[in-house]
Structure 1
Amino acid sequence: HTDEDRAQGTVALGVYIGYFKAAGGLKFAFCLLSSLLLERLTYLGADWWLTRWIQASDGGGGTFGLGSVDNQTSNNNYLGVYILWVLGNSIFALLRMLVFSFGAASAAARLFRDMARAVFRSPMRFFETTPLGRITNRFSYDTEVLDFGILEKLNGTIASSFWLMSSVTVIIAVQPIMSGVICIVLFLYYKLQLYYRKTSVQIQRLDSISRSPIQAHFAETLQGAVTIRSFENQTDFTNVMMSHIDSNARAVLAYSAASRWLGVRLETLGALVTAATGLLCWIYRDQISGELTGLALLWSFNFTISLNFLVNKSTEAESKMNSAERMLHYSRLPPEASLEDPKDAPERSNRWPPEGKVEFQDVVMSYADSLSPVLKGCTFTALPGEKIGVVGRTGAGKSTLAVALFRLRELTSGRILIDGVDISKLGLSSVRGEGICIIPQAPVLFSGTLRYNLDPFDVHEDAVLWRALKSVGMSELIRALPGELNALVEEGGSNFSVGQRQLICVVRAIIRQPRVLVVDEATASVDPQTDQVVQNALRTEFKATTQLTIAHRLQTIVDSDKVLVMDNGRVAEFGTPADLLEKKEGGVFASLVNATGRESAEHLKSQAGQRR
């Protein structure tokens, strides 16, 4: 497994741009800024109207032709206008929340879709080198942060910045000399926030990264719970889990402590602003009216609250943007080749491949660019309808042939032709389509109905499904289940035995009737009776299918038309079983047969002789 990537320093500007593009781009930004500006203007207007109302009550000049307040009717008029200001402010505040909520929901949904699409289209190498817990962390914790946490933080950051500008405007308008004090305080706030955010963002990254081992260890423990209990090793696994939890708790505690550290210093600076405003208003009490003094003091409190809110929310927002950063990183994973055929793809029939001839021509392939090749110049041809048994010692490259055939990893050099068509020139949907199929060593079933597992795209009639089930002796078992073909399959097919799951995979292949079938040690984990059922189905249901049967047990392939012997990534031998057994000196297949023991070797040789 590779180490998890962790960005350094503050969150890059490109992350914010990517997030706001996902939220709606320029249209979203225009609507949000417009609603924020209108909200602030109506808020300031309400406070301004309140000062005019007070002046009118003291016998001052009226506003908008309302005159001074000398009776209840004129007082009600001022009250009515004030209510309109407040009502307008409430409407625009609600509009701002709606715009931001819809934008944040759109961004979360779009980033999730982009990340899911990128992960599903990633090469197999990504899944081989990335722990499941790390992927789960992106789709759980980081997604939750984008759904809920980031909405409050970013909304608070943007709103408080406008609140702060409003406060500065009012204070300077009432007491211009406060501009110097405000500049000093703003500079101190900036330096404090700059110092704090470098730490807070890194701690938040540690929190996000330290969650992945918890989820990975938990999933692995659940999967291996039976083995853990069998060896009475529960204590060790519990201790490892507690160690992972402690690592995450340290990051969370450090983040909380840093937030408290910042809060104390912000409140101190805020108190200085309020004190300075009050002192200056007292010094210039003969030049400033009482209502303006009250307005300045009110907005000095707002200045402190807004500035504290801005610094807190902006640093918290940047910390939460770490989740957007991680999701954007996964949404830009390099994909596999295109699913669709390129424009210059070779012409072929609708039902491809029509015959099933498979040719490997000097195929060289490695599992990573930095690793040495696993296949080293493999060359062989499987004619249409031939049954090819693939054998070799562990690590010889048997299963890698299937990897190359399905293009789970692109070739370093060489070509693979199916009915004369170079599969590297086709889209992956064609290579992994109906015409080419695999029965894997580990049977895979999905949660849902049995029908969905047999015919995921619902293109075959029930009669076809029942006939395929009957061919492996499972029709009576399925008819006895509640719902029959609509019977529920639990997660991983846990309500079926291993043998039954393997037979369902065989049925899935029978329904598709491919022209090329890869059988990757499909009977390695089943009992002899199920093995016999599978072998009979392979012989009777795939007579016109080219089969590549990868096996460790020689009795499963000794009656094949030909045997392909792999050794250290190369084709060591290729021919009929009988011909290969006749090699007295240096025959790899003959040595494998002889290594099974005298009695077993004689039985295998007799079976091979019957195929001559």
Structure 2
Amino acid sequence: MSLRRLFLLCCLTLNKVKVRDDLLVLIDLVGCVVLRAFGVKYIELVETQIARRIDVHHSMKFASSVLDQWFDLWIQLQGSAIVMIVAVSLVVFRSVLSAGMVGRAFNYILMTDDSIVYLIKWYSSLEMDMIAPERVLSYCELENEDLNSTNKAPFKLTEGAIQFKRVQLRYKPTGELVLRDLSFSIRGGEKIGIVGRTGAGKSSLTMALFRMYPISSGSIWIDGRDVWTVSKHELRRQLCIIPQAPVLFKGTLRQYLDPFGSFDDAMLWSVVSKAGLNKLVGAMPEKLSTELAEKGSNLSVGERQMLCLARALLVQSKIVVLDEATAAVDHETDVQLQRVITTEFVDATVLTIAHRLHTVMHSDRIMVMDGGRVVEMDTPSALLAREDGAFFRFASQGSMLKS
């Protein structure tokens, strides 16, 4: 049994490495078109990485084969030891056993030896094969989000005021804190820019606001109501987010904009026009009935972004979050998106997470984050006036002060 446990432990370790490398190679192969777009030097670099992963993959296969042979050898040695013990016992007790009994016992022990070897190998193989179903079943056992809790009072956004009180957040129970005593207040209708280095906690703030993860401590209030006393469905349907990479499912434009059929075509055309997509949609043969490809691959990144904005206009949420919404679009689309935000979300609270500082310079206030905390929060002019401040350093590095 100890040998079997050792064998399974080694197999599990090898299998994890093998599966991970299989996945990495698959991702590289699927993204070949993107890789070629970066030129020969980048392709050579990626080819080297893929070759290294393939070498690791074959090393794992070789190690698995050697491990199987080692396990077979030990099982056969144990079987041979059992046969030898029985044979010695038959010799010792030959005086009380007939020749027929000795032959029959010896024949049975040889058959039993093969059966034991087969049973141990079969059981070990079964235990290895059950790893995949175990991982799948772990998703089925995840705790229900309780989206439509009926024991919580109704909630209606009126102003869009947001307050974080000493919020701490970690993605895993034993993981590091990504938000550390995060505290700030935003008045309803304010336009807030959020900046900071990668890993500062900007997107984690959004995760906490939408209750994607439970907070470790602290509280989050919207319009004077603790969000943890509101059902997730009620909360999320009144918030709106425009991410860096909008997810578009296969279906018609009408279904994407209005999945529940709550608005008429006149309203849909109105938001399409406000988002500057009326020419694009008008040129399509099927207009609003045009089929979107999976992930919206028949639209450009900018068009997908503006389509997501049109959906936000349709919902008329009092809180809108732009999470790096302009990071992957050209300057023209960036300007158009900012224009729509300025003109159409006058009364809404807008949180703009951005790396491009010029994107947030027209905000009422700018929040500078670092290490999961707010290190500065003031008007753009006040932050630029502090030469020893974090925002001033960001602006200096981005050559914004010269412009």
TM-score class normalised by the smaller sequence: 0.7 to 0.9
Indicate if the aligned counterparts of 1:573 and 1:588 stay in contact, CA closer than 8 A: no
Residue aligning to 1:322: 128
* Aligned counterparts of 2:165 and 2:8: Cα–Cα separation in 1: 53
Q: Which moved more, 1:244-253 or 1:360-369?
A: 360-369
Q: 1:372 to 1:355 in 2, by over 3 A?
A: closer
Residue aligning to 2:313: 510
* Aligned counterparts of 2:7 and 2:390: Cα–Cα separation in 1: 63
Match of 1:563 among 365, 388, 395: 365
Residue aligning to 2:186: 381
Indicate if the aligned counterparts of 2:324 and 2:353 stay in contact, CA closer than 8 A: yes
1:514 alignment partner, SS class: coil
Counterpart code for 1:356: G
* Aligned counterparts of 1:228 and 1:366: Cα–Cα separation in 2: 39
Q: 1:548 to 1:257 in 2, by over 3 A?
A: same
Counterpart code for 1:528: H
Matches within 5 A, 1:387-536: 387-392=191-196, 396-431=200-235, 433-446=236-249, 448-451=250-253, 454-455=256-257, 457-461=259-263, 463=265, 464-478=267-281, 480=283, 485-490=289-294, 492-536=295-339
The alpha-carbon deviation at position 243 of structure 1 amounts to 1.9
* Aligned counterparts of 1:588 and 1:198: Cα–Cα separation in 2: 55
2:25 alignment partner, SS class: helix
Counterpart code for 2:130: A
Q: 1:581 to 1:306 in 2, by over 3 A?
A: closer
The alpha-carbon deviation at position 520 of structure 1 amounts to 1.4
Q: Which moved more, 1:364-373 or 1:206-215?
A: 364-373
The alpha-carbon deviation at position 249 of structure 1 amounts to 1.1
* Aligned counterparts of 2:258 and 2:144: Cα–Cα separation in 1: 23
Indicate if the aligned counterparts of 1:360 and 1:416 stay in contact, CA closer than 8 A: yes
1:509 alignment partner, SS class: helix
The alpha-carbon deviation at position 518 of structure 1 amounts to 0.6
The alpha-carbon deviation at position 548 of structure 1 amounts to 0.9
Counterpart code for 1:572: E
Counterpart code for 1:339: D
Match of 2:352 among 539, 542, 549: 549
Residue aligning to 1:308: 114
2:146 alignment partner, SS class: coil
* Aligned counterparts of 2:314 and 2:80: Cα–Cα separation in 1: 71
Deviation string for 1:510-551 (max 9, x for gaps)? 333322111112112211111122122223443342211122
* Aligned counterparts of 2:48 and 2:384: Cα–Cα separation in 1: 54
Q: 1:360 to 1:300 in 2, by over 3 A?
A: same
Deviation string for 1:454-503 (max 9, x for gaps)? 2584444562444433332334434555765452414x444432222322
Residue aligning to 1:225: 35
* Aligned counterparts of 2:129 and 2:354: Cα–Cα separation in 1: 45
Q: 1:392 to 1:244 in 2, by over 3 A?
A: closer
The alpha-carbon deviation at position 212 of structure 1 amounts to 1.9
* Aligned counterparts of 1:241 and 1:502: Cα–Cα separation in 2: 35
Match of 1:213 among 20, 37, 45: 20
Q: 1:452 to 1:302 in 2, by over 3 A?
A: farther
1:539 alignment partner, SS class: helix
The alpha-carbon deviation at position 312 of structure 1 amounts to 1.3
Residue aligning to 1:348: 154
* Aligned counterparts of 2:81 and 2:394: Cα–Cα separation in 1: 82
Q: 1:304 to 1:573 in 2, by over 3 A?
A: same
The alpha-carbon deviation at position 328 of structure 1 amounts to 3.1
Residue aligning to 2:341: 538
**Greater RCO (Cα-Cα under 8 Å, separation 6 or more):** 2
* Aligned counterparts of 1:582 and 1:268: Cα–Cα separation in 2: 82
Gaps of 5+ in 1: 1-193, 285-295, 601-612
Q: Is residue 250 from structure 1 mapped to residue 62 from structure 2 by the alignment?
A: yes
Q: Which moved more, 1:251-260 or 1:495-504?
A: 251-260
Question: How many residue pairs align between the two structures?
Answer: 381
Counterpart code for 1:501: R
Counterpart code for 1:499: G
Residue aligning to 1:240: 52
Q: 1:389 to 1:305 in 2, by over 3 A?
A: same
RMSD over aligned CA atoms reads 4.2
* Aligned counterparts of 1:513 and 1:467: Cα–Cα separation in 2: 13
* Aligned counterparts of 2:292 and 2:108: Cα–Cα separation in 1: 60
The alpha-carbon deviation at position 256 of structure 1 amounts to 4.3
Residue aligning to 2:161: 357
Indicate if the aligned counterparts of 1:200 and 1:315 stay in contact, CA closer than 8 A: no
Indicate if the aligned counterparts of 2:8 and 2:124 stay in contact, CA closer than 8 A: yes
